[in-house]
Amino acid sequence: MSEVHSLPPSQEGPRDTVVVLPPGFSGADMARSCRETAVQFMNESPTWGKPELAMWLSGPYALATRYAKRESHPSIAGDVPLIKQIDVRLVDRILRAARTEVLENLAQLSGDQSSSFVLRALIAGSVARVEDGYREPTWAPAAGTTRLADRVLSLFAVDYLLRPGDYESYLAICTTCSYVSFDPSAKKRGYCPAHAPAPASGRRFTLPYPGLEAGFGS
């Protein structure tokens, strides 16, 4: 501790530039925002086109990443208008490629707890160390990441860093439609509610008095 306090002011600068979240905004609030935004992308983007992607980038994603920023990359605000200049088919390929990459990383995380994408996000700077509104250390996704898959993964990375147990116990990916949820029953089944196998009916012979109908009673 004495060595830290004896550092010259020029070396203490980074301590003064730590991002602080708004008063009352906790790490749990950040984790919830990141998860909701990432899950929305994964489950709704199969039907998206350019307008929907632009709305997600400038809406939920921009809100989740508004506190921290990667200074070496363009801000998210500068990226959104460029979507209008991209061919529809290219947007579709970008969306599909991003979903596939994110699903592969989540599947690894859910299966053997390999959180390599979290480490990559930390090294790349798409996840930043911040202080929450109560001045407690926490994490936040950083705006400015250029690849769509990295943007989504940064959201999941923050949520994982703050709630790792949920990914071991609750993270479920439907084997039929790749629907992502945090539902222990869905994790156990391997299916989302829409694609869970129909339970066996278990119905018995329903004709009244089966013995009589078979000619055995009188």
DSSP 8-class letter at 61: I
pLDDT in tens, 150-207: 999 999 999 999 999 999 899 999 999 999 999 999 988 888 888 877 665 555 544 4
pTM value is: 0.78
Q: Which residues contact 90 (CB under 8 A, 6 or more apart)?
A: none
Residue closest to 26 by CA, chosen among 175, 118, 131: 131
Cβ-count burial 135-146 (b if 16+ within 10 Å, e if not): eeebbbbbbbbe
Kindly list the distances between the CA atom of residue 191 and the CA atoms of 16, 112, 153, 182, in Å, as whole numbers in the listed order. Answer: 48, 19, 22, 12
Q: Which residues contact 91 (CB under 8 A, 6 or more apart)?
A: 49, 50, 53, 83
Tokens of 66: 């508004």
pLDDT in tens, 29-46: 999 999 999 999 999 999
Pair 136, 155: CB distance under 8 Å: no
- Ordered by start, the domain boundaries in the chain are 14-169
pLDDT in tens, 113-128: 568 999 999 999 999 9
